[in-house]
Structure 1
């Protein structure tokens, strides 16, 4: 201990020898020169040469900091107690540091505490609003919210849903005949076109002929569109596999693809797995997980039930009263319409986020776990999207992969410009959005169609803003406002009032 104290005395003596700062000769070291960036900073960006001309104070200060750090390391190594460690003569300011919330340092550290604060405030504010709403309006959820006598009238839609597997079986038959060379390639293409078209038109006709509930019609149309997308992928992939197999037999395949396995067999097992798997892109085999985690599946099902109930509560307790007490947004007072849209935007955003979590995270992961489906990238961090284009590339990965594989790149391979191929992809998406909403409503005003097609100029605008300001915040805020704060509530009000006008319940 005496030796340690003597070393500390020597070190402290060397510290006391400094004048106007710790001398650079206190602890000789080869690192006595400051870096150019530090000199630039100390001199207001004028350069290290100017700092040297102004005097040795800045250099001595930097060297002093390095000497102090070496002294502290030595003290910690020799094990001195606190009486000899933090002396008043030791400088408190040693390095160049930014404030944690400055623009240069804000994204270099964790903000988990602030995120937790936002969650606490969000829970507190919404809890107060829920209590206030219940005290003012009471319990608005109807007894027949989940099931009513009207649901019994939807049995034609249910039977239509049960008969949809006929179309995949027909596609399998066409591919089997083509594999055995019993029908020509143009005939196979024609049969697939007829089959996929019938897979969509059949549910549309059933819905239009029946006075069914809106949710029943939406559910059936979603299933029909999924079947259509899967059948297109199945037919397109098999067509391409046959073409590649013929190229291999002729020796026309490129060198980069000679090691790929183009042998395939059309079998019902692979098609059946594909039709229930959480993907829209057909391939012969998929990455698989080794086993099913039963406890994990149960926990996800419990979450699915809870968040589905939360969606129902928000819809019945908040969205329905706001929509019913509103006017047509394009026929009434402009300021009143803006107020209704903004008031509807918050509960609509909650329902949309719950829907995303239930469908893309919980349900698709449950389905993937039960089927041991390995690739579970059903979405990316779309909430960080800087442009509308990034959002559409990350929000729904199964549809995005399908679009790229069966629409966008086939257009490019056929000589179509990138911009036109991009618009065609949005056009296909707009048609199916319109079918899923307009058909169950029995209204064809094309609000959903135009809503999707308006994303094309928004892509250009947000991309321009991103390139101009070089900030991820500008495009991200533009996306949230245009899509969630304004777009969805406006579309909801338009369809509701058009539906009421169709039924003769409103003027």
Structure 2
């Protein structure tokens, strides 16, 4: 081991050598400039070299955007020449409402959505509220109340399955998918509502025990304990006596229908007794978000009808023959419109719609997404692109599991397994067939996260980011074609 004096001497020699090299370089420059041949060359790196430290690629970004635009326009013209104009708003109405041409008096998807709001706003919400009130006043035992809440939430997610079992042919795929999504959101909200109120009860019990121990310590002739108890009591009184604390809702005062309805409408999956609120509603902001939703939804439906459906339909025969070259061609052809629609869906859902709801409800926390496009590995992407679900998973699944003594790795696997079940639910229930492609796709994310993390560490962040984009661009259309192939073989295969 080198002593401190030797390390200082080594640093000094290094500093001397660096300054000497700089002096030589500067002296050489001055001498070269005085030469009669008028030199123009200096030591420089190429701009594309990592050592050049050049980072202004705005022109190349513009070039890439124009090339993508030209390619998109060409594919659009090819699609139009091959299939003609397929955009038909009347078919959107049929698909979204479940309008049945054989029975024009029924709109099953609309009926199911209306029943959703009726059942969710009256039955499960009221049940959840009444159970929490019963537990709070010791009318219902804690374990029984938790069991009732779990049963209530399970019935929520089973309701679409039961409806499809009896009237499955009457519902459109888009309509039942929307209904399943809404039921799942309510399920996650009720989970958060129940667990958060459970934490509040535990906190009150712990505070009661602390106060009891404090009173015992005050009666004991131990001056150190007496001083500590007095300090804690004064600190608690200071917190409770502040004007801000006086305005905050405390448990069990939050157990009312108005508070629960606000949470059900708020753009979050995590329940809190007190949310940060904005001072006013910005009308221009609301109008912008409404216009974005109106034009964006129509654009998505038009692109899906004109571009996605023909490509997916034509891929069934290719998948049946299992020709790898043609499958790859179909996959790449579907990747462009699918990724464009996915980006539109992201913007409309996480920016336009959630910001609209946040503004109308004066909900101040608007971090619905982070810069997922800069993710250097799969783990960062899943923790940044959907912040409401990420915060719910961390708060209600990941942290409780780690606090029970399990490792972070096991907790992460459980989170991905629950997410995989939710994804499979959103696909298999509307299609009325059970396949595991969505489940396997989500469970493949932890290994992909390890691979992308390794690529980031060994090859650099850029290669990790390329892997993230590759999985997004190619993984989704592959899953779509697999599900559609299985659905077509199940329903349309000639006997």
377-386 vs 300-309, which moves further: 300-309
Task: Say whether 1:217 aligns with 2:176.
Answer: yes
Task: Say whether 1:147 aligns with 2:106.
Answer: no
Deviation at 1:467, TM superposition (A): 2.2
For the residue of structure 1 that corresponds to 2:276, the secondary structure is coil
Task: Say whether 1:492 aligns with 2:447.
Answer: no
For the Cα contact (< 8 Å) 1:281–1:402, is it kept in 2? yes
Equivalent position of 1:194 in the other structure: 151
Could you tell me how far apart the structure 1 residues matched to 2:384 and 2:142 are? Answer: 36
For the residue of structure 2 that corresponds to 1:291, the secondary structure is coil
Q: Which has the higher contact order (CA 8 A, sep 6+)?
A: 2
Could you tell me how far apart the structure 2 residues matched to 1:395 and 1:36 are? Answer: 50
Equivalent position of 1:366 in the other structure: 356
Q: Deviations over 1:474-502 (max 9, x none)?
A: 111112222322x1111111111211222
Deviation at 1:445, TM superposition (A): 1.2
Could you tell me how far apart the structure 2 residues matched to 1:409 and 1:279 are? Answer: 18
- Out of 87, 109, 113, the residue aligned to residue 158 of structure 1 is 113
Could you tell me how far apart the structure 1 residues matched to 2:494 and 2:370 are? Answer: 42
Deviation at 1:366, TM superposition (A): 0.9
Deviation at 1:123, TM superposition (A): 2.6
Q: Deviations over 1:199-240 (max 9, x none)?
A: 111122113322210001100000010000000000000000
For the Cα contact (< 8 Å) 1:360–1:378, is it kept in 2? yes
For the Cα contact (< 8 Å) 1:500–1:506, is it kept in 2? no
- TM normalised by structure 1 equals 0.79
Equivalent position of 1:236 in the other structure: 195
Could you tell me how far apart the structure 2 residues matched to 1:135 and 1:331 are? Answer: 27
For the residue of structure 2 that corresponds to 1:279, the secondary structure is coil
Deviation at 1:323, TM superposition (A): 1.2
Task: Say whether 1:134 aligns with 2:80.
Answer: yes
Number of aligned residues: 438
For the Cα contact (< 8 Å) 2:402–2:411, is it kept in 1? yes
Could you tell me how far apart the structure 1 residues matched to 2:472 and 2:437 are? Answer: 14
Equivalent position of 1:276 in the other structure: 265
Could you tell me how far apart the structure 2 residues matched to 1:209 and 1:64 are? Answer: 92
Q: Which runs of 5+ in 2 are unaligned?
A: 1-11, 101-105, 214-228
Q: How does 1:59-78 map to 2 (within 5 A)?
A: 59-60=26-27
For the Cα contact (< 8 Å) 2:308–2:334, is it kept in 1? yes
Q: How does 1:75-154 map to 2 (within 5 A)?
A: 100-106=47-53, 109-148=55-94, 149-150=99-100, 152-154=107-109
For the residue of structure 2 that corresponds to 1:223, the secondary structure is helix
Could you tell me how far apart the structure 1 residues matched to 2:339 and 2:271 are? Answer: 33
Q: How does 1:371-410 map to 2 (within 5 A)?
A: 371-410=361-400
For the Cα contact (< 8 Å) 1:360–1:379, is it kept in 2? yes
> Which has more helix, going by share of residues?
2
Could you tell me how far apart the structure 2 residues matched to 1:129 and 1:336 are? Answer: 18
- Out of 445, 450, 455, the residue aligned to residue 460 of structure 1 is 450
For the residue of structure 1 that corresponds to 2:107, the secondary structure is helix
Deviation at 1:426, TM superposition (A): 0.5
Q: Which runs of 5+ in 1 are unaligned?
A: 1-34, 41-46, 69-88
Give the structure with higher Rg (CA).
Answer: 1
Deviation at 1:167, TM superposition (A): 0.9
Equivalent position of 1:347 in the other structure: 337
For the residue of structure 2 that corresponds to 1:284, the secondary structure is coil
Deviation at 1:302, TM superposition (A): 1.4
Equivalent position of 1:298 in the other structure: 287
**Distance 1:64-1:231 versus aligned 2 partners, 3 A rule:** farther
For the Cα contact (< 8 Å) 1:156–1:206, is it kept in 2? no
- Out of 146, 170, 173, the residue aligned to residue 130 of structure 2 is 173
Deviation at 1:60, TM superposition (A): 3.6
Deviation at 1:104, TM superposition (A): 3.7
Could you tell me how far apart the structure 2 residues matched to 1:244 and 1:94 are? Answer: 73
For the Cα contact (< 8 Å) 2:128–2:152, is it kept in 1? yes
Could you tell me how far apart the structure 2 residues matched to 1:374 and 1:95 are? Answer: 55
Could you tell me how far apart the structure 2 residues matched to 1:329 and 1:38 are? Answer: 66
**Distance 1:389-1:39 versus aligned 2 partners, 3 A rule:** same
Could you tell me how far apart the structure 1 residues matched to 2:56 and 2:376 are? Answer: 21
Equivalent position of 1:80 in the other structure: none
Task: Say whether 1:482 aligns with 2:471.
Answer: yes
Deviation at 1:506, TM superposition (A): 5.3
